[in-house]
Amino acid sequence: MESALRSSGAPGGSRKYPRADRIRQTKDIRRVLRRGRRTRTRHLEFFVLPSETGHPRFGVIVPRHRNTIVKRNRLRRRLREIGRVEVLPRLRTAGCSTDILVRTRPEAYRAPFQDLRLQLVEFTERLCSSISSSD
Q: How many CB atoms lie within 10 A of CB 69?
A: 8
The topology under which CATH files domain 11-134 is Ribosomal Protein S5; domain 2 (3.30.230)
Of 48, 31, 51, nearest to 39 by C-alpha is: 48
* Nearest-angstrom CA–CA distance, 74 and 81: 11
pLDDT in tens, 7-18: 334 454 557 888
Spacing of C-alpha 38 from chain mean position = 14
Domain spans of the chain? 11-134
Q: Does the pLDDT value for residue 1 go beyond 90?
A: no
* Nearest-angstrom CA–CA distance, 25 and 9: 30
DSSP string, 37-68: EEEE-SSEEEEEEE-SSSS-EEEEE---TT--
Strand partners, 46: 39, 102
Largest CA distance in the chain: 44
pLDDT in tens, 75-132: 999 999 999 999 999 999 999 999 999 999 999 999 999 999 999 999 999 999 887 6
pTM summary value: 0.84
**What's at 68, amino acid-wise?**
T
pLDDT in tens, 32-62: 999 999 999 999 999 999 999 999 999 999 9
Pairing of strands 44-50, 98-104: antiparallel
